[in-house]
């Protein structure tokens, strides 16, 4: 069922219930009014009849107004009929139970079919007590009540038809912006992904929906552009060594070479293959870092032990590397050294940062300072290299981006992008400060295990 139909039906049902309640209330109160009015007339009829009989001695037949099926009966205290006048078929006997219910201060009302009756108790000046029962049929009042019931029923049915039409128009008007949004969304494709939704009403929920969808389109456009750039750069990085390898092979096949010359060509090809392997491994690690967060293997890790492992591995890989690890301040508790994270990814991130420092430093020296803040551990990795131009700092975390002064140094521009993604996955912070000619400092902050427990306790 479409929303327009559902809204129309809901609107009609609500209006029908409200109108039904309204008509029932009107009918009920009018019925009470009619009953009260006729009861008062019967009571006045009974009192007037007994008073005339007491004062005059008889009841003139033409002096009192006559009601339909009227009958007035007067009983003495022994239950004997002293006076009876009116329709013979409309007599309500004064049973002991009925007489008991009639008190001097409270007349008794009863209804038998279309006949309504009121019994009153009257006491004259001599102390004699009488029971007067006046009954009749409120033909005019009941006919008006029937007419009112018909009008209310037909009016209620007519209101339903009007409510149905009004509900359809209301639903159409309410859903018109939705139809416009659907048309705009269908017009957006990969070719014109820069387009955004427009909403005429700027302060309703649909405007919030449009803004949310526009934000989603912005993120998708950014991811789409990043993917195109990634594919373009990856293709270029892979094509370059393949082209070099193919050229070397073709040149080598032109003429017969000696053994040492073939070895030189093979060594060159091996270097290119190793470079391609490093590039492919970097791409795989970047893809792994972009995977779902649920695949992370969070476990307690000591940040100092992780740094010692990276230091040992880098010094075995590069004998000339000098990595100094120092504590700026010592933690109050050993638990402050423990972080929660994926050991493999964090190891890769720290390896990339420290290896970059060694690679770009003139003396391959890097200093790592460990400090402790409120519920976080802060690492500062500094080198004394040539620095990064200020205009390139906003782009250093983009895949395959490399500064012009870094082009002579071997690399592919994947390490920092991978590191940034890993730190974001661990809810950390990563900031880079650089001065040309003086070096670069990378500040890395990661939440400790104790902060994770505190967050769980608060939640």
Lowest mean pLDDT among 270-279, 293-302, 391-400, 406-415: 406-415
pLDDT of residue 434: 85
Once rounded to an integer, what is the mean pLDDT over residues 232-253?
74
State the span(s) of the chain assigned CATH 3.30.565.10: 293-458
3-145 placed in CATH 1.10.3470: no
Q: Please compute the mean of the pLDDT values over residues 215-227 and round it to a whole number.
A: 77
In this prediction, residue 21 carries a pLDDT of: 94
Higher per-residue confidence, 300 vs 239: 300
The C-alpha atoms of residue 50 and residue 123 are separated, in whole angstroms, by 10
Q: Which listed CATH number (1.10.3470, 1.20.120, 1.10.287, 1.10.150) goes with 205-288?
A: 1.10.287
Within the chain, all domains assigned CATH 3.30.450 are found at 3-145
Q: If you average pLDDT over residues 186-192, what whole number do you get?
A: 79
pLDDT digits (tens, 9 = 90+) for 69-85: 888 888 887 778 888 88
State the pLDDT at residue 59.
Answer: 64
- Output the pLDDT for position 222: 74
Give yes or no for a contact between 371 and 380, defined as CB atoms under 8 angstroms apart. Answer: yes
Average pLDDT over residues 235-248: 75
Architecture category of domain 293-458 in CATH: 2-Layer Sandwich (3.30)
Predicted confidence at residue 458, as pLDDT, reads 31
Tokens of 454: 């505190």
Per-residue pLDDT at 454: 36
pLDDT reported for residue 355: 84
Confidence of residue 148 (pLDDT cuts 50, 70, 90): very high
Residue 244 neighbours by CB under 8 Å, 6+ apart: 272
| Higher per-residue confidence, 4 vs 60 | 4
* pLDDT of 115 strictly over 60: yes
Instruction: Tell me the HSE value of 433 on the side-chain side, using a 13 A CA sphere.
Output: 6
| Mean per-residue pLDDT, 420-431 | 85
What pLDDT does residue 298 have? 77
Q: Indicate where the chain has its CATH 1.10.287 domain(s).
A: 205-288
How many C-alpha atoms does 266 have within 13 Å on its Cβ side?
7
Q: How far apart are CA 211 and CA 203, in angstroms?
A: 11
What's the pTM? 0.48
Residues 214 and 197 sit within 8 Å (Cβ to Cβ): yes
Q: Which pLDDT value is given to residue 412?
A: 60
Q: What is the largest CA-CA distance in the chain?
A: 158
> HSE of 343 in the Cβ direction (CA atoms, 13 Å)?
10
Mean pLDDT of the chain: 80
- The residue that leads in pLDDT, 96 or 132, is 132
pLDDT-derived band at 182, boundaries 50, 70, 90 = confident
**pLDDT above 60 (res 459):** no
Does pLDDT of 291 surpass 60?
no
CA angle 341, 344, 347 (to 5 degrees): 90
């Amino acid at each position: 069922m479409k929303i327009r139909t559902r809204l129309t039906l809901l609107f009609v049902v609500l209006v029908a219930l409200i109108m039904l309640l309204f008509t029932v209330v009107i009918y009920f109160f009018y019925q009470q009014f009619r009953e009260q009015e006729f009861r008062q007339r019967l009571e006045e009829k009974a009192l007037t009849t007994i008073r005339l009989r007491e004062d005059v001695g008889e009841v003139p037949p033409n002096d009192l107004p006559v009601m339909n099926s009227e009958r007035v009966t007067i009983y003495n205290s022994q239950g004997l009929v002293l006076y009876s006048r009116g329709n013979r078929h409309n007599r309500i006997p004064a049973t002991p139970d009925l007489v008991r219910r009639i008190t001097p201060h409270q007349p008794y009302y009863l209804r038998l079919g279309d006949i309504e009756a009121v019994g009153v108790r009257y006491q004259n000046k001599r102390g004699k007590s009488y029971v007067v029962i006046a009954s009749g049929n409120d033909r005019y009042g009941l006919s008006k009540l029937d007419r009112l019931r018909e009008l209310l029923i037909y009016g209620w049915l007519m209101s339903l038809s009007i409510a149905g039409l009004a509900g359809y128009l209301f639903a159409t008007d309410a859903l018109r912006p939705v139809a416009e949004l659907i048309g705009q969304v269908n017009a957006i494709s990969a070719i014109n992904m820069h387009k955004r939704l427009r909403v005429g009403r700027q302060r309703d929920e649909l405007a919030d929906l449009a803004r949310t969808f526009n934000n989603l389109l912005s993120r998708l456009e950014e991811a789409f552009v990043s993917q195109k750039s990634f594919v373009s750069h990856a293709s270029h990085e892979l094509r370059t060594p393949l082209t070099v390898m193919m050229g070397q092979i073709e040149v080598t096949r032109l003429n017969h070479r000696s053994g040492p010359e073939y070895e030189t060509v093979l060594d060159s090809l091996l270097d290119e293959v190793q470079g391609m392997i490093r590039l492919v491994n970097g791409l795989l690690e970047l893809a792994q870092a972009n995977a779902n967060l649920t695949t992370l293997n969070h476990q307690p890790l000591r940040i100092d032990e992780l740094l010692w492992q990276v230091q040992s591995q880098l010094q075995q890989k590069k004998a000339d590397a000098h990595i100094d690890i120092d504590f700026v301040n010592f933690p109050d508790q050993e638990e402050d050294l423990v972080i929660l994270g994926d050991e493999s990814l964090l190891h890769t991130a720290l390896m990339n940062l420290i290896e970059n420092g060694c690679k770009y430093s003139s003396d391959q020296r890097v200093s790592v300072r460990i400090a402790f803040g409120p519920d976080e551990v802060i690492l500062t990795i500094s080198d004394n290299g040539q620095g990064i131009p200020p205009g390139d700092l906003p782009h250093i975390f983009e895949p395959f981006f490399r500064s012009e002064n870094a082009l002579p140094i071997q690399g592919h521009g994947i390490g920092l992008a991978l590191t940034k993604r890993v730190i974001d996955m661990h809810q950390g912070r990563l900031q880079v400060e650089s001065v040309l000619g003086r070096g670069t400092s990378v500040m890395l902050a990661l939440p400790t295990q104790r902060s994770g427990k505190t967050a769980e306790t608060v939640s």
